[in-house]
Homo-oligomer: A and B are copies of this chain.
Amino acid sequence: MVGVDEDKHAGRDIVGKHGEGGTLRYDLMVERALRGVMVESLRLTSKHGLQDNHHFFITFRTTHEGVAIGDNLRERYPDEMTIVLQHQFWDLTVSHDSFSVALSFSGKPQTLHIPFAAVTKFADPSVQFGLQFEDIPRPSTIPDGAPTDTNTVTGPTDSADQKKQPSQGAEVVALDGRRKK
């Protein structure tokens, strides 16, 4: 069996936070679980490459701690940046809490180092699969009894008439351009 260290994927200890209060934080658990899907996808790609037209759009906060990108990129994308892993990427390496990849910018290769926690969106348009991660109020700030189950996952064609409530945590989003927010 090929093991995947899912317990390290999110780079965040939410289990301890559960234990403290005794409340089950499904929002945090689902967020961590879905971040694990992103990590697993990147890890498999680092080993086997991308096949069957798979490709990734990855959006991350350039201001997040641990993000290492060139000054030129940081100036151009002061808040958020989206990279595409499709034909031209090299040296994809995946650690327990981050990944690195070399991409070409204006013809020059540049290696980016991105903590998973910085990622806000992960999408594979080839199969209309997308994940979106949002900031979840942590136990110290969430009010007692607040709903903790507002994560949503929608397929590619079922969101047109979906009434969305304000979401917290992770969601799988439709990529057909009709997603409501």
A30 interface contact, C-beta 8 A: yes
In the complex, residue of chain B having the shortest beta-carbon distance to the beta carbon of A164: B158
Number of copies: 2
State whether A148 and B165 are in contact (beta carbons under 8 Å apart), knowing that A26-B37, A29-B40 are contacts in the complex: no
Q: How many chain A residues touch B (Cβ–Cβ < 8 Å)?
A: 62
B165 and A158 contacting across the interface, CB-CB below 8 Å: yes
A33 interface contact, C-beta 8 A: yes
Residues of chain A from 112 to 138 with CB closer than 8 A to chain B in the complex:
124, 127-129
A147 and B128 contacting across the interface, CB-CB below 8 Å: yes
A49 interface contact, C-beta 8 A: yes
A164: chain B residues at CB < 8 Å are 158
State whether A149 and B172 are in contact (beta carbons under 8 Å apart), knowing that A2-B13, A37-B29 are contacts in the complex: yes
State whether A23 and B7 are in contact (beta carbons under 8 Å apart), knowing that A2-B13, A152-B155, A157-B165 are contacts in the complex: no
A150 interface contact, C-beta 8 A: yes
What is the minimal beta-carbon distance from A136 to any residue of chain B, in angstroms? 14
A15 to B4, CA, bound (A): 8
A158 and B162 contacting across the interface, CB-CB below 8 Å: yes
**The one of B1, B22, B150 that contacts A49, using a Cβ cutoff of 8 Å:** B22
**Can you spell out 11 A-B residue pairs with CB atoms less than 8 angstroms apart?**
A2-B15, A3-B15, A22-B49, A24-B124, A127-B149, A129-B148, A151-B153, A152-B155, A152-B158, A155-B167, A157-B163
Binding site for B on A (CB under 8 A): 1-9, 13, 15-16, 18-19, 21-24, 26, 29-30, 33-34, 36-37, 40-41, 44-45, 47-49, 51-52, 54, 124, 127-129, 145, 147-165, 167, 171-172
